[in-house]
Amino acid sequence: MFTKPLRELTLTEALTPTPGRLACLRPAALMGGQFLPGAIACRAAVGATITRIVHPGQAPPEPRYRPSKKLADFVRCRDMTCRFPGCKVPATNCDVDHTIPWPYGPTAASNLKCLCRRHHLLKTFWGGESGWRERQLDDGTIVWTAPDGRTHATTPGSRLLFPELSEPTAKVVTAETPVSHTAGLTVPRRKRTRAEDRARRIQSERESNDPWN
């Protein structure tokens, strides 16, 4: 066992427990909710780049549409998955979406969430008064209202594992009422299927690697 609490250990101390003793290694959580045993997590951490996630607290909104890397990293680690009811797409594969559309809604943690591309499109083109509606609380909870009027609440994936990431952030303040910016629009049609895009990308990567073979 370690001689002091795990939270007080340096990375080197955590990866080099007392000889002859069985270390208490906490499992690691991956985006999407999967877990790694503590021993494997420690081995994977050797040589890894460690990024500190900073809770924004009551920080003011950022003055731009696209969130900074620091803010986007926080939102992804807080949510861990797509925030649409029942969706488990890892946050690393999701878009960071404004709940109240920019510029009416601020670029702030209380107005940002992770949505996979499929549910981002659903919100954009099948939202509004007769479609899916959403309301975000300052602790990251999203309350969805389906077209039939039923409500579904989703909470951040970090709430059980890292509850400090779900602590409230600055409340959203809007000066104007958002207008529908997608009225009359339809989902854009793809020029190629996803399978065709993947095949083209693989072929392009192979061609770029040929000079090195």
State in Å, rounded, how far the first CA of the chain is from the last one: 49
List, for residues 123-181, the tens digit of each pLDDT value: 988 877 778 999 999 999 999 999 999 999 999 999 988 889 999 999 988 866 666 65
Residue 149 to residue 147: CA distance in whole angstroms: 5
How confident is the model at residue 186, as a pLDDT?
61
Report the pLDDT averaged over residues 36-58.
Answer: 81
* Structure-token match 């072929």, residue found: 203
pLDDT averaged over the chain?
83
Asked if residues 165 and 154 have their Cβ atoms less than 8 Å apart, the reply is no
Quote the radius of gyration of the chain (alpha carbons, Å): 21
Instruction: Report the b/e string of 73-107 with b at 16+ CB within 10 A.
Output: bbbbbbbbbbbbeeeebbbeebebbbbbbeeebbb
How confident is the model at residue 193, as a pLDDT?
81
- Which of 10-24, 50-64, 69-83, 88-102 has the least mean pLDDT? 10-24
Residue 199 to residue 206: CA distance in whole angstroms: 11
Residue 147 to residue 138: CA distance in whole angstroms: 24
How confident is the model at residue 187, as a pLDDT?
60
Residue 36 has pLDDT above 70, yes or no: yes
How confident is the model at residue 73, as a pLDDT?
94
Amino acid at the residue 210? D
Beta-carbon neighbour count of residue 147 at 10 Å?
13
Closest by CA position to 138, among listed 52, 47, 58 = 58
Tokens (6 digits) for 11:
């990375």
Task: Read off the DSSP letter of residue 62.
Answer: B
